[in-house]
């Protein structure tokens, strides 16, 4: 592999507090040799071939902590190849795949299968998560130590929450030994039972059973109480309400160490967008009020929330062409994660470095993986985008196998131009 010289880019590397015009050199092994303002045309030999990025933005490849693949069991919704194409077109180079497959990723042999499929069929880095409990039943914990040794980076029941407090406390107690990362989807099943959208005026008008914010808050409070007694690496997958934000702020002030994520959907949409029973906006956690949305946005900006995820959950049309109650939950979104996040920068809600950090170095740090930075020696996973390019989301251009985007026809500003994984140009917009 030849060295690649990228020059004249706006380099943003939040981990190293860098936002400057400069370049980046990819060495012959696909790693970053140098980056920053010192990599400029004048400092480079004139003989080498340079790619002029014309002031486009260059950031570390995006790390998406919450993605559903579909393999094994739901290949008709998404497979590794289609996921890879979708992710790369959105500048996402690493994903944590959720274990809610069929069968569930809950044992060592499944991990080998995933790694092999991921390696053979996709160009992105797949970091598989295994389930917290066998078959995500919330009863028997999985083999954290053995699974971690096999390369599992995180443990979560994905779309499910460990309901039983005794099981959860033991999980947290046990997981600390292997320093395993626990990611909880916070939702009390009893309180949310039968619920479809946020409990509020909209649910009253649409006649849909509501999911109260308390269903989320109560699990976060419970787990943070356990964390006091059984310290472990703990991450709340995604939160949706203002009240949960307050709980997290208070806990962080008290010195508790944990991290929190939020779905781009909850940052960019609210319950009003559900309109006339749009099933593509049936999400978990549900879209809540505008005031909740604002609180979440502010929390990303002030660092209360560490990570933005796409919560990419491909669902085939048949699962969505049903009544709201019967329709599947979830939205496709890995390829629009960055452009939709940039909306929050363009409308001056979140500072650009905070936004990029929440998509790159923050998730990498939580996962303890060597990604999300432009450090010398790191894999050259890169995302290059035009920060101002306007475009409109069109279902037909979606690369994911499922087309259930919640933002069809939305006007976005910012588009990915090139994506590199391990120094190889794996995506380029025509």
Complex with other proteins: residue 326 or 347, whichever CB lies closer: 326
- 311 is a catalytic site residue: yes
Look at the alpha carbons of 29, 30, 34, 37 in this order and tell me if their dihedral is positive or negative.
Answer: positive
- By C-beta, is 166 or 276 nearer to other proteins? 276
Shortest separation between residue 202's beta carbon and other proteins, angstroms? 9
- For the residues of 385-422, what is the DSSP string, one character each? EEEEEEEE--GGG--SSS---TTTT-EEEEEEEEEEET
Q: Residue 373, Cβ neighbours under 10 Å: how many?
A: 22
Q: 116-121, long-range: CB within 8 Å, 24+ apart, which pairs?
A: 117/71, 117/80, 118/80, 120/80, 121/79, 121/80, 121/81, 121/84
Judged by CB, which is closer to other proteins: 128, or 195? 195
Tell which residue, 122, 134, 148, 28, has the closest CA to residue 70.
122
As measured in angstroms, the least distance from the Cβ of 263 to other proteins is: 22
Instruction: Tell me the closest approach of the beta carbon of residue 317 to other proteins, in angstroms.
Output: 10
Provide the CB-side half-sphere exposure for 42 (13 A, CA): 3
Cβ 394 to other proteins, closest distance in Å?
Answer: 17
Q: How far is the CB of 330 from other proteins (least distance, A)?
A: 18
Nearest residue (CB) to other proteins, 208 versus 309: 208
Q: Between 64 and 216, name the residue whose CB sits nearer to other proteins.
A: 216
Nearer to other proteins, 201 or 302 (CB): 201
In whole angstroms, the minimum distance from the beta carbon of 315 to other proteins comes to 14
* Residues whose CB is less than 8 angstroms from the CB of residue 131 and which lie 6 or more positions away in sequence, other chains included: 99, 100, 104, 105, 106, 142, 155, 156, 157, 158
Q: Which of 157, 292, 306, 311 is catalytic?
A: 311
Q: What is the DSSP string of 136-187?
A: G-SSSB--HHHHHHTT--EE--TT-----HHHHHHHHHHHTTTTPEEEE---
Dist. CA 368–CA 354, nearest whole Å: 19
Give me the residues that bind other proteins (CB under 8 A), please.
193-194, 199-201, 203-210, 276-277, 318, 321-326
**Contact (Cβ atoms closer than 8 angstroms) between residue 245 and residue 299:** yes
Tell me which residues are annotated as active site.
311
């Amino acid at each position: 592999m030849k060295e690649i010289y990228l020059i004249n880019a706006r380099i943003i590397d939040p981990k190293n507090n860098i936002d400057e015009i400069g370049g980046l050199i990819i060495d012959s092994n696909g790693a970053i040799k140098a980056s920053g303002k010192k990599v400029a045309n004048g400092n480079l030999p004139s003989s080498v071939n340079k790619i002029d990025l014309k002031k486009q933005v260059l950031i570390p490849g995006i790390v998406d902590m919450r993605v559903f693949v579909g393999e094994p069991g739901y290949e008709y919704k998404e497979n590794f190849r289609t996921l890879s194409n979708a992710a790369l077109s959105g500048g996402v180079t690493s994903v944590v795949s959720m274990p809610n497959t069929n069968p569930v990723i809950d044992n060592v042999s499944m991990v080998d299968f995933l790694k092999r499929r991921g390696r053979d069929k996709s160009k992105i880095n797949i970091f598989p998560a295994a389930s917290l409990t066998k078959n995500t039943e919330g009863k028997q914990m999985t083999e954290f130590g053995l699974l971690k040794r096999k390369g599992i980076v995180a443990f979560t029941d994905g779309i499910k929450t460990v309901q039983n407090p005794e099981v959860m406390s033991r999980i947290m107690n046990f997981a600390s030994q292997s320093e395993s990362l626990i990611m909880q989807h916070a939702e009390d099943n009893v309180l949310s039972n039968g619920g479809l959208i946020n409990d509020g005026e909209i649910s009253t008008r649409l006649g849909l059973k509501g999911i109260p914010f308390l269903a989320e808050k109560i699990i976060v409070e419970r787990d943070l109480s356990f964390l006091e007694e059984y310290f472990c690496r703990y991450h709340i997958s995604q939160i949706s309400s203002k009240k949960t934000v307050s709980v997290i702020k208070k806990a962080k002030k008290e010195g508790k160490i944990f991290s929190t994520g939020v779905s781009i959907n909850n940052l960019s949409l609210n319950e009003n967008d559900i309109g006339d029973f749009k099933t593509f906006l049936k999400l978990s956690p549900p879209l809540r009020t505008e005031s909740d949305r604002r609180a979440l946005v502010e929390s990303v900006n002030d660092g209360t929330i560490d990570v933005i995820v796409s919560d990419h959950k491909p669902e085939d049309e048949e699962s969505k062409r049903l009544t709201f109650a019967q329709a599947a939950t979830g939205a496709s979104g890995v390829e629009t994660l960055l452009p939709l996040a940039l909306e929050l920068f363009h409308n001056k809600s979140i500072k650009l470095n905070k936004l990029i950090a929440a998509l790159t170095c923050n998730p990498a740090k939580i996962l303890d993986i060597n990604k999300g930075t432009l450090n010398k020696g790191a894999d050259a996973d890169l995302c290059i985008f035009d920060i101002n390019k306007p475009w409109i989301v069109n279902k037909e251009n979606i690369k994911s196998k499922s087309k259930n985007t919640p933002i069809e026809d939305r006007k976005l500003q910012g588009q990915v131009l090139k994506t590199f994984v391990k120094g190889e140009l794996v995506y380029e917009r025509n």
